Amino acid sequence: MATAQTNGHVLHVDQTQFNQVVLQSDVPVLVDFYADWCGPCRALAPALKELAKEVPDAKVVKVNVDDNQELAVRYRINAIPALMVFNGGRITAQHAGLANVSQLKAMLAQ
C-alpha cells in the first residue's frame, strides 16, 4: 500500500488507495492519469520524478487508467496524459498533455 509521504518519489495508486492517498491528503496532490502504452505519458515521467524531488510539500501520484477504469470515468478522463491537482479533496487545477516542471509547479500553486 502507498504511504502518505512520497519522500521525493512518484507513487502509483489504484482505486482502493485513491481516497486515502489523494482525497484525504493534507498536502496538494498532482495526479497523472496515464497508460503504459501512451508515448506522451512516458515522455512526461521524467518531469514528474523531478517535480517529486523538488516539491517535498506535495505528492505526485500516477493512476493507470487501464487498470483503474472507475477512476477514469469518475474524473472524465478522455485523453491522456491528464493531470489534476487535488487540494483538500477538490480539483484545483487541470491540464491535458505534456507539461514541463515549471508548468507542473504552477499547477500545484493554484
Q: Is residue 78 part of a domain?
A: yes
| Predicted local distance difference test score (pLDDT) of residue 7 | 57
Residue 2 has pLDDT above 90, yes or no: no
Catalytic residue, candidates 38, 93, 96, 101: 38
CB 59 within 8 A of CB 3: no
Q: Is residue 5 part of a domain?
A: no
| Share of residues in the chain with pLDDT > 90 (%) | 90
Instruction: Find the CATH number of the domain harbouring 79.
Output: 3.40.30.10
Q: Is residue 103 part of a domain?
A: yes
What is the grid cell recorded at 73? 470515468
Q: Is residue 3 part of a domain?
A: no
Catalytic residue, candidates 13, 41, 63, 82: 41
CB 71 within 8 A of CB 63: yes
Could you tell me which residues are beta bridge partners of residue 82?
A: 33, 96
Active site residue 18: no
Write out the residue range of the structural domain in which residue 84 sits.
10-109
Task: Please state whether beta strands 10-12 and 59-64 pair in parallel, antiparallel, or not at all (unpaired).
Answer: parallel
Q: Is residue 88 part of a domain?
A: yes
| Share of residues in the chain with pLDDT > 70 (%) | 94
CB 14 within 8 A of CB 63: yes
pTM of the model: 0.92
Domains: count for the chain: 1
